[in-house]
Amino acid sequence: MPLLEIDNLSVHFTLGHGRSRRVLKAVDGVCLTVDDGESVGLVGESGSGKTTLGRAVLRLTAPTGGRIRFRGEEVAGLTGRSLAAFRRQAQMVFQDPFDSLNPRMMIGEAIGEVLAIHGMRGRRERAARTADLLRLVGLPAVYADRYPHEFSGGQRQRIGLARALATGPSLIIADEPVSALDVSVQVQILNLMRRLQQELGLAYLLIAHDLAVVRAMCRRVAVLYLGRVAEEGPATSLFARPAHPYTEALLSAVPDVEADLDPDAGAGRRIVLKGDVPSATDVPPGCPFHPRCHRAEPRCARERPCLREVAPGRRSACHLAEAVLG
């Protein structure tokens, strides 16, 4: 049984009224699973629905369709103590945890507040647990008496991880956890996340636009485009041989040191996407990617491709997936 099972999940928002009423399809029929101790990457351009999907899993945004199951239990029906118990097991880490920290509250108080909400009432017990959590993420226990503005971006992300770990979760949804950090600090945080995963048996749903981060962290990857899964499969095979033109284009945009040093060696590798991502209130007919696709055929504008298995463990929503795979 998967730890997390997302089945045909949709999150639609109604904008405007009357004749100006529009429906924004932020997430539109996504299916995805995360196993115990597994890292799954969720990638795509801005506006692809990655963050909305992560928030919907935690019931921070209300789904409008589909199902979310955690250890086989339907999340949508949880209330009161059942919902609190679920949220102890599934936590979120944000791009900049400073936004989720009270600037007037010391770090120890911020972490202690989470512990108190989830049942740890004793002040001394909370202080001891806070010290343990700070040490777990590589920070001295004395940092509990400092305020958020006194820390660097990397230190704040460590604090964000400590706060997420306070409830003893089995799943962490990490939304662009290193995108605001310098490259050297990114490596430190990713190494920390890997160590925590090994020591605590954590599962990650890692939301990122940086494919190098996903390649380093994740066993499996789902590529989102306009709220739908364009492609999904093991990271190693997906990065080596994409099965969707969108993934193909995203991978071609990753900096290539060899090509930068020798322009002739990189000739023809870069795929430049046409135009911008369409609005999620006006999704193109047929394949939603066809207006920007370098491989599109006439049927792509007419027929919406289903997400289907195109190789062992590989799924693609493309009529031409076999040709893309080569």
Which pLDDT band holds residue 256 (cuts at 50, 70, 90)? low
Q: What is the pLDDT of residue 59?
A: 93
Report, as an integer, the average pLDDT of 73-89: 91
301, part of any domain: yes
Q: For residue 255, what pLDDT is reported?
A: 66
- Reported confidence tier of residue 97, pLDDT bands at 50, 70, 90: confident
Minimal CA–CA distance to 289: which of 316, 266, 322? 316
Q: pLDDT tens digits, residue range 39-75? A: 999 999 988 999 999 999 999 999 999 999 999 999 9
- Does residue 213 lie within any of the structural domains? no
Residue 278 forms part of a structural domain: yes
Is 290 within a domain?
Answer: yes
Extended beta strands in the chain, E state: 4-15, 22-34, 39-43, 65-70, 73-74, 90-93, 171-175, 203-208, 220-225, 228-234, 308-311, 314-316
pLDDT (average), residues 87-93: 94
Q: How far apart are the first and last CA of the chain?
A: 33
Task: Tell me if 247 is assigned to some domain.
Answer: yes
Secondary structure (DSSP) of 281-315 = TSPPSSSTTGGG-SS--GGGGT-PPP-EEEETTEE
Residue 99 is predicted with a pLDDT of 76
- Whether pLDDT at 265 is above 80: no
For residue 243, pLDDT beyond 60: yes
Per-residue pLDDT averaged across 293-309, rounded?
A: 96
> In terms of residue numbers, what domain contains 289?
242-326
**Single-letter amino acid code for the residue at 155:** Q
pLDDT tens profile 186-242: 999 999 999 999 999 999 999 998 998 999 999 999 999 999 999 999 999 999 999
Number of structural domains the chain divides into: 1
Look at residue 277 in the predicted model and tell me its pLDDT. Answer: 86
* Mean pLDDT, residues 294-311: 96
Residue 20 lies in a domain: no
- Rounded to two decimals, the pTM is 0.92
User: Would 315 be classed as within a structural domain?
Assistant: yes
Asked if the structure places residue 136 within a domain, the reply is no
